[in-house]
């Protein structure tokens, strides 16, 4: 690899990092390095997104830590990470001019707002005689690469997965070589710190696991010896059964090809089940690309205008983890404290919000969007519409999670509940899932005072939810 030390007017190409914060196995970077021109990496702290986030948002800490690693690596190559704070629609064309870029290379992003941004940037750059070149990177199969025999997008997961598995070839999972090419030698530039960007330095302490490419490699190494047991352990939030890699896939500190290579071809049930989850991720990405309206609308026409009572006070209680249903409260407190929630708990707490508290799935989707470190529009909307029975290949409306049964099954000893709801720590494993039903409670525990009484009766709410969905279905048939 060589370093360009030519003066500032040297022609260059820019590699614009977005949700791909790594310098390994990176499609756009690979192509930029092959362009024959020195490559400068840039990152924009996007004010159109950042301005709406709270100052203690843990995602900024994750991004910042990841960029520090990118910067350190670039310095080893004799280059520098260029950053700016503002609207990328202006900042990228400005930087491209300032750095005398001939083209800007980036990886495709399939979220509706990101696609609109890229279109505008591309237009402005072409007015400056430059090109925005986009590459597939964050998925194995994008957009309409996997369609039904009738050339329609899939709305059911199992046949999509069958087709995905039939299509994948070893070159699809092969890493992009980013070791050949020329880096731009640039004057040293410090990354703005979190405070300068309007965020709290202390939010870094909330990160549960390491960020950046190195953090992803550590998690991957830890997960590898556990992957064979994934199918047996993944539903138990108190066990270390899952990979915890979602933020790394979200911010691209791990390449999807490296993740897939861990599990494909699958040599155990655990690996096959984990690969299935990665395929769910692609299923939801292609679905959102074909149906961007589902980001804010139910996919099933009958359930577009479900007349949810939407009680604000109940919504607040759910957000605060004070519903009186221990497994739901433990889940919500885990989310509030760490920005993470286990998948089984996402399903339980989402179902509880919609089918017990009768609140619109979009309210819950928005709350998760604010809180999740791994928030990804396609997977979040997909997960919420699945739980709410309004989406593609969703849970049928009459299948309603019983939060007590779920709790007994997936946290049998109450170990997870005790970690996040310490008021219940003295309760035994029989009582902890539904304290108000317990025959015996510790003398010092004052039910309803030390911990709230259940906000609703599950059986009553279940019937109300069934009636609401049934009526909407019948109404549609009548129309
Ligand atoms: C209501 C709800 C909201 C969700 N919101 C998000 C979200 O915003 N971002 C997000 O990445 N996932 C979301 N999921 C999916 C899933 O809960 C998380 O991906 C998973 O819990 C992340 O933990 P992990 O990395 O240890 O996953 P693992 O179990 O180790 O799975 C490996 C990877 O597969 C992908 N994956 C796993 N399960 C799913 C799934 N059901 N749908 C799509 N991709 C999946 C993720 O990229 C994950 O990192 C949501 C699920 C539900 C039910």
Residue count of the chain, please give it.
Answer: 479
Give the angle subtended at the CA of 377 by the CAs of 375 and 380, to the nearest 5°: 70
Q: Are residues 36 and 151 in the same domain?
A: no
1 inside domain: no
Q: Is 206 inside any structural domain? A: no
* Residue among 339, 378, 383 to mutate when testing ligand 1 (max atoms within 8 A of CB): 383
8 Å CB contact between 426 and 445: yes
Q: If you average pLDDT over residues 389-405, what whole number do you get?
A: 96
The atom number, within ligand 1, closest to the CA of 243 reads: 30
Q: Is the pLDDT of residue 62 over 60?
A: yes
Clarify whether residues 248 and 379 are in a common domain.
no
Residue 48 domain-assigned (yes or no): yes
Q: In the beta sheet, which residues pair with residue 46?
A: 86
- Whether 150 and 19 map to the same domain: the answer is no
Q: What is the pLDDT of residue 413?
A: 98
CATH number, domain containing residue 56: 3.40.50.620
Residue 296 lies in a domain: no
Tokens of 163: 């087709």
Beta-bridge mates of residue 340: none
Quote the pLDDT of residue 447.
Answer: 87
Q: Are residues 327 and 464 in the same domain?
A: yes
Q: Which atom of ligand 1 is nearest to the CA of 369?
A: 8
pLDDT in tens, 155-174: 999 999 999 999 999 999 99
- Residues with Cβ within 8 Å of residue 355, at least 6 apart in sequence: 388, 400, 401, 461, 462, 465
User: With a 6 A CB cut-off, is 139 part of the ligand 1 pocket?
Assistant: no
Domain boundary residue, one of 290, 317, 339: 290
Q: Quick check: CB of 379 below 6 Å from ligand 1?
A: yes
pLDDT of residue 7 exceeding 70: no
Q: Is 373 in the pocket of ligand 1 (CB under 6 A)?
A: no
Burial class of residue 2 (count of CB atoms within 10 Å of its CB; 0-12, 13-18, 19+): exposed
Mean pLDDT value across residues 253-272: 97
For residue 46 and ligand 1, the question of a CB distance below 6 A is answered with: no
Helices 377-387 and 343-351: crossing angle, nearest 10°? Answer: 50
In the chain, the number of structural domains is 3
Q: Answer for the pair 197, 74: CB distance below 8 angstroms, yes or no.
A: no
Find, among 24, 11, 40, the residue nearest to 129 by Cα: 11
Question: What pLDDT, on the 0 to 100 scale, is given for residue 288?
Answer: 97
Average pLDDT over residues 13-37: 98
Instruction: Give the pLDDT band (50/70/90) at residue 475.
Output: confident
Residue-number span of the structural domain to which 457 is assigned: 301-478
Mutate to test the pocket of ligand 1, among 277, 294, 353, 371 (most ligand atoms within 8 A of CB): 277
Together in a domain, 108 and 146: no
Mean pLDDT within 361-384: 98
Q: How far is the CA of 350 from the centre of ligand 1 (A)?
A: 13
- In Å, how far are 138, 349, 354 from 361, measured between CA atoms? 27, 11, 6
Q: What is the pLDDT of residue 208?
A: 84
Our answer on whether the CB atom of 39 is closer than 6 Å to any ligand 1 atom is: no
Please tell me whether residues 143 and 133 are part of one structural domain.
Answer: no
Q: What residues have CB less than 8 Å from 437, skipping those under 6 apart?
A: 404
CA distance 237 to 241: 8
Measured in Å, residue 39 CA sits from the centre of ligand 1 at 34
The predicted pLDDT at position 1 comes to: 54
The CATH number linked to 255 is 1.25.40.80
Q: At which residue do the structure tokens 């059986």 appear?
A: 459
411 and 279 within one domain: no
Residues 359 and 387 both lie in one domain: yes
Same domain, 106 and 167: no
Q: Is the CB of 345 under 6 A from ligand 1?
A: no
3 pLDDT band, cuts 50/70/90, is: low
pLDDT, residue 449, reads 93
CATH label of the domain that carries residue 357: 1.10.579.10
What is the sign of the dihedral through the CA atoms of 316, 388, 417 and 340? negative
The pLDDT score that the predictor gives to residue 299 is 97
- Rounded CA separation 124/51 (Å): 24
Ligand 1 and 401: CB distance under 6 A? no
Q: Same domain for 326 and 467?
A: yes
Whether residue 189 has pLDDT greater than 70 = yes
pLDDT digits (tens, 9 = 90+) for 421-440: 999 999 999 999 999 999 99
**Cis check: omega of the bond before 265, within 30 degrees of 0:** yes
pLDDT (tens digit per residue) in 319-362: 999 999 999 999 999 999 999 999 999 999 999 999 999 999 99
For ligand 1, is residue 281 a contact (CB within 6 Å)? yes
């Amino acid at each position: 690899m060589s370093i360009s030390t030519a003066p500032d007017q040297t022609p260059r190409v820019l590699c614009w990092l977005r949700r791909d914060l790594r310098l390994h196995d990176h499609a756009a970077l690979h192509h930029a390095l092959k362009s024959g021109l020195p490559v400068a990496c840039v990152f924009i702290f996007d004010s159109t997104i950042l301005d709406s986030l709270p100052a203690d948002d843990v995602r900024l800490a994750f991004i910042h830590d990841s960029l520090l690693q990118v910067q350190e690596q670039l310095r080893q190559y004799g280059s520098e990470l260029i950053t700016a704070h503002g609207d990328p629609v202006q900042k990228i064309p400005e930087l491209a001019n300032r750095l005398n870029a001939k083209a800007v290379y980036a990886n495709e992003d399939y979220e509706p707002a990101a696609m609109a941004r890229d279109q505008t940037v591309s237009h402005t750059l072409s007015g400056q005689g430059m090109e925005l070149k986009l590459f597939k990177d964050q998925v194995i199969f994008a957009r309409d690469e996997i369609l039904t025999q009738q050339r329609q997008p899939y709305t059911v997961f199992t046949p999509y997965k069958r087709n995905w598995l039939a299509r994948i070839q070893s070159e699809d999972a092969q890493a992009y070589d980013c070791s050949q090419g020329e880096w731009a030698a640039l004057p040293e530039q410090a990354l703005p710190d979190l405070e300068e960007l309007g965020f709290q330095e202390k939010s870094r302490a909330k990160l549960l696991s390491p960020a950046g490419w190195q953090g992803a490699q550590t998690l991957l190494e830890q997960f590898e010896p556990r992957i064979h047991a994934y199918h047996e352990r993944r539903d138990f939030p108190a066990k270390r059964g899952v990979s915890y890699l979602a933020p790394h896939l979200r911010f691209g500190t791990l390449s999807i090809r490296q993740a897939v290579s861990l599990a494909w071809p699958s040599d155990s049930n655990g690996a096959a089940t984990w690969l299935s989850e990665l395929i769910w991720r692609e299923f939801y990405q292609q679905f959102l690309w074909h149906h961007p309206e589902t980001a804010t609308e139910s996919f099933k026409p009958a359930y577009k205008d479900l007349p949810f009572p939407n009680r604000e006070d109940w919504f607040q209680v759910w957000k605060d983890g004070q519903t009186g249903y221990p497994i739901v409260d433990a889940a919500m407190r885990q989310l509030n404290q760490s920005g993470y929630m286990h998948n089984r708990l996402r399903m339980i707490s989402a179902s509880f919000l919609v089918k017990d508290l009768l609140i619109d799935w979009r309210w819950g989707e928005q709350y998760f969007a604010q809180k999740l470190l791994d928030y990804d529009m396609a997977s979040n909307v997909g997960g919420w519409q699945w739980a709410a029975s309004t989406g593609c290949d969703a849970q049928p409306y009459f299948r309603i999670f019983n939060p007590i049964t779920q709790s007994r099954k997936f946290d049998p000893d109450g170990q997870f509940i005790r970690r996040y709801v310490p008021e219940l720590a003295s309760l035994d494993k029989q009582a902890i899932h539904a304290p108000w039903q317990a025959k015996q409670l510790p003398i010092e525990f004052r039910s309803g005072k030390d911990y709230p009484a259940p906000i609703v009766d599950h059986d009553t709410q279940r019937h109300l939810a069934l009636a609401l969905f049934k009526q909407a279905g019948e109404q549609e048939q009548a129309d």
